[in-house]
Structure 1
Amino acid sequence: MEVKICVQHAARELVLECDQSPDEIERIVSEALAGKTNLLTLEDNRGRRVLVPADRLAFVEIGEQIERRVGFGAM
Structure 2
Amino acid sequence: MDVELGIQNVARPVNFTTEQSADEVSKAISNAVTQGEPIDLVDDKDRHIMVPAGALGYAIVGSETKHAVGFGAL
Q: What TM-score, normalized to structure 1?
A: 0.84
Query: What residue in structure 1 maps to residue 25 of structure 2?
Result: 25
Q: Percent identity?
A: 26
Query: What residue in structure 2 maps to residue 16 of structure 1?
Result: 16
Cα separation, 2, equivalents of 1:4 and 1:42: 12
Unaligned runs of 5+ in 2: none
Unaligned runs of 5+ in 1: none
Q: CA RMSD in A?
A: 1.6
Residue 31 of structure 1 aligns to a residue in which SS? helix
Query: What residue in structure 2 maps to residue 40 of structure 1?
Result: 39
Runs of 4+ in 1 over 3 A off after TM superposition: none
Q: What TM-score, normalized to structure 2?
A: 0.85
Q: How many residues align?
A: 72
In the TM superposition, residue 7 of structure 1 has moved relative to its aligned partner by: 0.3
Query: What residue in structure 1 maps to residue 55 of structure 2?
Result: 56
Residue 33 of structure 1 aligns to a residue in which SS? helix
Cα separation, 2, equivalents of 1:53 and 1:19: 22
The amino acid that maps onto 2:38 is: L
Cα separation, 1, equivalents of 2:38 and 2:68: 32
